[in-house]
Amino acid sequence: MIDFNIKEIAPLCQEFGVELTEDIISKLNLYGNLLLEWNEKINLTAIKEPTEVLYKHFYDCILFFKNVEVKKGATLIDVGTGAGFPGMVLKIVRPDLKVTLLDSLNKRINFLNDVIAKLDLKDITAIHSRAEEGGKTAKYREQYDIACARAVAALPTLLEYCTPYVKVGGLFVSMKGPAVDEEVALCGNAIRTLNLAQPNIICENLRENESRSFVIFKKISQTPPKYPRNSTNISKQPL
């Protein structure tokens, strides 16, 4: 079994109040091993070197807790979760969270369910759905304190896919690279149409010359019923 040396980031996490217990470290290590094992069968990640996984996947996701207030027992949906980033990491680090992982590819859902079973995680569900279909479904629409997405699509498109899941007063958090100003500048119409407040943008360093932006939107009233539109309309005519 590969050792991802997760104790190396423990002091960094402790600086913003996240304690990586032995149980959390063990679960993250097993998750990393399952990720690389499954990656030999299906394409989950191009990041395979253990130190890169440690910083670009695990630490990157844990920084979420430094920049976003996540109340105890919060409901969170990770839209377009892929291999489970950030949602699976957030759940492992904060077992109190109620997490939904949504992805359109069933083979990724099979991987996530294997992780959930082998780590014996509770209050976490992996669902196979397109984002725009889930956002129209009463079971998921406006049911979450937080929706998040990591590098899935351009921000105006992401807003339409993700904010329908968020309760009024809740947050949509987009995890982006360092250069987000141009994307945010294109979001004015989407922000108004989807009833969001202007975003808070926070840039964080992963390591030297590597950074991550958190773009945090608060939902101020209900999403109009016509949104999200179908994927063709979203891609052809972004808000």
d(CA 200, CA 44): 30
Report yes or no: 42 and 52 within 8 Å, Cβ to Cβ.
no
Residue 69: the pLDDT is: 96
| Rounded mean pLDDT, 203-232 | 92
Q: Does residue 200 or residue 207 have the better pLDDT?
A: 200
Q: What is the pTM of this model?
A: 0.96
pLDDT at 206 over 90: no
The mean pLDDT of 33-43, rounded to a whole number, is: 96
* Mean pLDDT, residues 203-207: 87
Contact indicator for 88, 53 with CB cutoff of 8 Å: no
Where do we find the tokens 């489970």? 84
| For residue 151, pLDDT beyond 80 | no
The average pLDDT across 181-193 equals 94
Query: Which strands sit side by side in the sheet containing 144-150, from one edge to the other?
Result: 124-128, 98-103, 75-79, 144-150, 166-176, 210-218, 200-207
Give dist(CA 44, CA 150) in Å, integer.
14
The count of other CB atoms within 10 Å of the CB of residue 152 is 20
Q: At CA 94, angle to CA 90 and CA 96, rounded to 5?
A: 125
The CATH classification number of 70-236 equals 3.40.50.150
Average pLDDT of every residue of the chain: 95
Q: Which pLDDT does position 11 carry in this prediction?
A: 97
Average pLDDT over residues 211-238: 94
